[in-house]
């Protein structure tokens, strides 16, 4: 992960969600082991990423997708563990929401760049329409990145 900054931000997010959960009297307090599992999963994914332990021949997956999947894995593990009370869904949703904030900020910045570059006046535009365009931009950017990652991975696999 990018020089540890993203890892630290994600670990801080997990800690913040745990503290928010403890402090919220309207939400059931999750067992601390759930947050330990989340921290361990993130660190495991970071270590695999650093060691470039990707399976040969598999399609590349973004680190954000790996982390989202890791959060889902911990959620499933927690719900199937009879010895640990199942954590509220909101905890996992908040962590995933914070993971998604980074690409959303990038998309917002990209749309602002397009608006500026083309001299577009969006002052009269419906804010929901602009959000929809930003969402489409984010999806298109993700697809484009996946295509490039796939092409690079194919070159790596072919030994070029």
The pLDDT value given to residue 56: 53
Asked if residues 34 and 91 have their Cβ atoms less than 8 Å apart, the reply is yes
The string of pLDDT tens digits covering residues 114-154 is 999 999 999 999 999 999 999 999 999 999 999 999 999 88
CA pair distance 25, 7, nearest whole angstrom: 29
């Amino acid at each position: 992960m990018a020089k540890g900054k993203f890892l630290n931000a994600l670990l801080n997010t997990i800690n913040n969600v745990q503290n928010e959960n403890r402090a919220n009297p309207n939400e059931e307090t999750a067992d601390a082991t759930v947050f330990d599992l989340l921290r361990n999963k993130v660190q495991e994914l970071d270590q695999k990423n650093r060691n470039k332990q990707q399976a040969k021949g598999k399609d590349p997956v973004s680190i954000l997708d790996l982390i989202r999947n890791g959060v889902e894995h911990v959620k499933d593990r927690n719900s199937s563990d009879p010895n640990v009370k199942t954590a509220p869904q909101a905890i996992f949703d908040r962590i995933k929401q914070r993971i998604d904030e980074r690409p959303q900020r990038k998309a917002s910045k990209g749309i602002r760049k397009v608006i500026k570059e083309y001299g577009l006046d969006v002052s009269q535009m419906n804010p929901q329409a602009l959000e929809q365009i930003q969402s489409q931009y984010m999806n298109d950017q993700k697809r484009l990145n996946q295509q490039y990652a796939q092409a690079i991975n194919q070159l790596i696999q072919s030994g070029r």
